[in-house]
Chain A
């Protein structure tokens, strides 16, 4: 079950989307999500879908690969579609027992589905084309202005990178501990919920102990290399915006303007 974690599912590639600065991609993703909530008619939604399709094609991440990411939200998707379908008042098209389907209901259900799918695909497209490290770098630099109001941006970004780095290590550790306790006859699969929760103790305590031990070791290793936080720290590969990033940002503003115009005017 721990292999299903979709966090940081980087899909290696050399496309123009992969090469964009992570800050550009973060901003684009944010604007794209906002645009999905601004859009309120079929033309605006059509434009968002087209924009997403264009970026997916440019990124050369296989579409079937992207669909896998949708599986996790399938249940939420179905529930929200059903709620919108049956619980919207308006002109009744079909009704049976206590259920009625209205024209507005269909409209809202379709829009909701499109919005959710675009939201998930858009956000996951960013993680597919950006390595977790680039992403935290992007967040650190992109939110750098928050330092002015004493938000420890560098420290938060460092914590994120470390957390991401430790996921595979702790997963492996967890696997080992589960095996070792299984070898001692631990039964993790049978019994009711409370029994199974109790059976996790022999797994979780060693895992926590090991996480603390590793954290201590890492802190010492960082101090041994004179790490002392973000102040005065320079980078080996500083992020720099290229021409394509400025182009992407201009396109982004055009897109956002277009969506607003389509939503307001039509």
Chain B
């Protein structure tokens, strides 16, 4: 089970400007596996959002191909409705798409569009809302009564109710407070581990993805510059900083401690790992 991106390029047509068109994505190849949480990071304008919009055919590549479980999504026999149900895309600030009087009806919108029976629609909506942490008594609440974090979870439930194989989220934690972030990531982790939903996450917070992702794609200027595990990517601190990114705080702290002579191993990208390593250091009786 995977999504394979093959030599994908996307040109943005701008009829107004003199130079006509420019590349937003250039020759991108990557594989997104269902059993591994994939994070896409990159500075602003690097093409992250553009790339994920290709995954469910909201944008059509100028060149290249995308294979969903081995079949090209651009093939004539590939149904785009099925694809949009299988690859659920949650946009940035999704809470602004809520439009119904209560969150339950809003969450029903997605599955209803799939042409399912009423019972099935409602049972899916219920499951999705429970999965993102709402209780039965919240179902009839208006989106306007909810807090920002709750509204965002309701919007994510709206996509989840279509029961996608993959859930693609564009900056899901933007604008949330630390508690909201923690809850969101716990929820995504649960969806992945317990319900087997493939998760793709666009972010520019290194700390979020270091904890969370099994694999990271780093985009810069429309190209993939790294495609590797977080441990290995975050050992390239210098390169990341030249494109306007950075390593997680824990890795940064580890770098500084090494300069002061601490003998720390590589790959300390989360605070937990750093703490263990420092404790080991002291126990060994080093400096």
Give the interface of A toward B (CB within 8 A): 176-177, 179-187, 201-202, 205-206, 209-210
Distance in angstroms between the alpha carbons of A176 and B59 in the assembled complex: 12
**Which of chain B's residues has its CB closest to A199's CB?**
B113
Distance in angstroms between the alpha carbons of A202 and B94 in the assembled complex: 13
Segment 142-160 of B: residues with Cβ below 8 Å from A: 158-159
Q: Give the chain B neighbours of A205 by CB distance below 8 A.
A: 99
Distance in angstroms between the alpha carbons of A210 and B96 in the assembled complex: 7
CB distance from A232 to the nearest CB of B (A): 38
Q: Give the chain A neighbours of B98 by CB distance below 8 A.
A: 206
Interface secondary structure of A, over-half rule = helix
Q: Give the chain B neighbours of A181 by CB distance below 8 A.
A: 97, 109
Question: Within 8 Å of chain A (Cβ to Cβ): is B73?
Answer: no
Most B-side CB within 10 Å, residue of A181, A182, A185 = A185
CB distance from A156 to the nearest CB of B (A): 30
Distance in angstroms between the alpha carbons of A185 and B121 in the assembled complex: 13
Distance in angstroms between the alpha carbons of A202 and B113 in the assembled complex: 12
Task: Given A179-B91, A183-B89, decide whether A209 and B113 contact each other with a Cβ distance below 8 A.
Answer: no
Report yes or no: A185 in contact with B110, Cβ–Cβ below 8 A: yes
**Which of chain B's residues has its CB closest to A182's CB?**
B58
Report yes or no: A184 in contact with B109, Cβ–Cβ below 8 A: yes
Question: Within 8 Å of chain A (Cβ to Cβ): is B249?
Answer: no
Distance in angstroms between the alpha carbons of A45 and B26 in the assembled complex: 56
Question: Within 8 Å of chain A (Cβ to Cβ): is B84?
Answer: yes
Most B-side CB within 10 Å, residue of A182, A183, A201, A202 = A183
- Beyond contacts A184-B162, A185-B109, A202-B99: 14 other A-B pairs, Cβ-Cβ < 8 A, are A176-B91, A180-B91, A181-B109, A182-B58, A183-B58, A183-B84, A183-B88, A183-B89, A183-B90, A184-B84, A184-B109, A184-B159, A209-B96, A210-B96
Segment 82-136 of B: residues with Cβ below 8 Å from A: 84-85, 88-91, 94, 96-99, 109-110, 113-114
Report yes or no: A185 in contact with B113, Cβ–Cβ below 8 A: yes
Question: Within 8 Å of chain A (Cβ to Cβ): is B275?
Answer: no
Question: Within 8 Å of chain A (Cβ to Cβ): is B229?
Answer: no
Distance in angstroms between the alpha carbons of A228 and B158 in the assembled complex: 43
Distance in angstroms between the alpha carbons of A179 and B159 in the assembled complex: 13
Question: Within 8 Å of chain A (Cβ to Cβ): is B81?
Answer: yes
**Which of chain A's residues has its CB closest to B161's CB?**
A184
CB distance from B49 to the nearest CB of A (A): 10
